């Protein structure tokens, strides 16, 4: 299976399914796992010598969103990470937030509460899963372009 076939068959459908069900943690974890697996698929397709971890490290330095995806996937599988260079501390987690929304928040009233999925980083900050997935999909699109895999990407329901 080529990287582009894997992207179309596994990555994009997983991300799209999560997008329309964006508070479901197992769909977020599956999207993260499919995006993470793409690194191995690309590595195999390139027929490069050496360890895939070196490729992943270089890719993570170029594309920080892919490093976050790697860590989130690894922490989902293995629990707390022991690698000194990890960024993310855990799998996706649900949090309750509050904000003002057109047609939902009353003028002068309290913010509307909503559920969001986040990745908590080692430094204690939280990053929305939607931002991470979008950033990682754009990062992979750039990497595919660098590798010469011209492709029309589906990123959050829009062709890129």
| Arithmetic mean of pLDDT, 17-40 | 93
Task: Note the pTM of the prediction, 2 decimals.
Answer: 0.80
Three-class DSSP category at 127 = strand
Average pLDDT of the residues of the chain: 82
| Residue 47 pLDDT greater than 90, yes or no | no
Residue 127: C-alpha distances to residues 10, 38, 154 (Å): 24, 22, 22
The 10s digit of each residue's pLDDT in 51-89 is 888 888 899 999 999 999 998 887 766 556 455 555 555
Residue with structure tokens 């904000």?
A: 99
pLDDT band at 131 (very low <50, low <70, confident <90, very high): very high
Residues 6+ apart with CB under 8 A from 155: 15, 134, 137, 138, 141
Residue bearing the bigger pLDDT, 100 or 8: 8
Q: Can you point out the beta strands (E) in the chain?
A: 93-99, 112-120, 126-128, 154-155, 158-159
The 10s digit of each residue's pLDDT in 96-117 is 877 777 776 667 778 777 788 9
């Amino acid at each position: 299976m080529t990287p582009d076939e894997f992207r179309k068959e596994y990555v994009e459908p997983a991300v799209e399914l999560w997008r329309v069900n964006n508070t479901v943690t197992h769909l977020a974890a599956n999207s993260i796992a499919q995006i993470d697996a793409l690194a191995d698929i690309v590595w195999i397709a390139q027929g490069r010598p050496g360890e895939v971890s070196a490729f992943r490290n270089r890719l993570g330095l170029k594309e920080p969103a892919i490093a976050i995806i790697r860590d989130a996937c690894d922490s989902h599988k293995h629990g707390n990470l022991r690698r000194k260079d990890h960024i993310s501390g855990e799998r996706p987690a649900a949090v309750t937030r509050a904000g003002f929304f057109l047609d939902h928040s009353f003028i002068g009233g309290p913010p509307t509460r909503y559920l969001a999925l986040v990745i908590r980083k080692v430094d204690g900050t939280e990053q929305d899963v939607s931002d991470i997935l979008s950033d990682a999909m754009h990062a992979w699109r750039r990497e595919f372009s660098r590798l010469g895999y011209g492709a029309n990407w589906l990123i959050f329901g829009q062709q890129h």
